[in-house]
């Protein structure tokens, strides 16, 4: 499901998946090459250095939100958004671009309640413990008010 979802999503703030193939032993994935894929993880987690430039932070956050909006608009919930899954691509002469990756535990919105509101059914609690939304406390939880 991860490969199918990521291949389907085509957006500048989502890492492009060009092709994938499965064998009995492995899945081979051909993805967009990202120039500075560990920027956020190294700068913020390992070095524990803040990004002091507020304009840069605003640009990065806006790009993350635009990418998430595209994911939600397509009826998908990432379910594991964290620094490790936010990559920074730099090209000479262009502004850096934040790209979202790793759709391994993403969920599709597949439940509509009696009011016609789309919801995702989180069958299993999944995600990285420190990043799980507080409303997801156990299995078989409906994520309310999905806006896309």
Interatomic CA distance for residues 139 and 56, integer angstroms: 38
Check if 36 is active-site.
Answer: no
Sign of CA dihedral 29, 73, 100, 104: negative
3-state secondary structure of 14: strand
Residue 112: strand pairing partners: 118
Interatomic CA distance for residues 121 and 113, integer angstroms: 11
Residue tagged active-site, from 80, 84, 95, 113 = 80
Catalytic positions, please?
80
């Amino acid at each position: 499901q991860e490969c199918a979802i990521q291949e389907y999503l085509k957006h500048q703030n989502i890492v492009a998946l060009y092709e994938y193939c499965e064998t009995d032993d492995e899945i081979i994935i051909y993805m967009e090459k990202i120039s500075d894929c560990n920027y956020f993880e190294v700068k913020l987690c390992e070095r524990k250095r803040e990004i002091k430039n507020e304009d840069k932070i605003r640009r990065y956050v806006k790009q993350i939100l635009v990418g998430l909006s595209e994911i939600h608009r397509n009826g998908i919930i990432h379910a594991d958004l964290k620094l490790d899954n936010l990559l920074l691509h730099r090209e000479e002469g262009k502004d850096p671009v934040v790209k979202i990756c790793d759709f391994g535990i993403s969920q599709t919105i597949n439940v509509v309640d009696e009011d016609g509101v789309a919801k995702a059914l989180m069958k299993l609690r999944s995600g990285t413990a420190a990043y799980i939304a507080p409303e997801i406390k156990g299995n078989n939880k409906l994520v309310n008010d999905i806006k896309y």
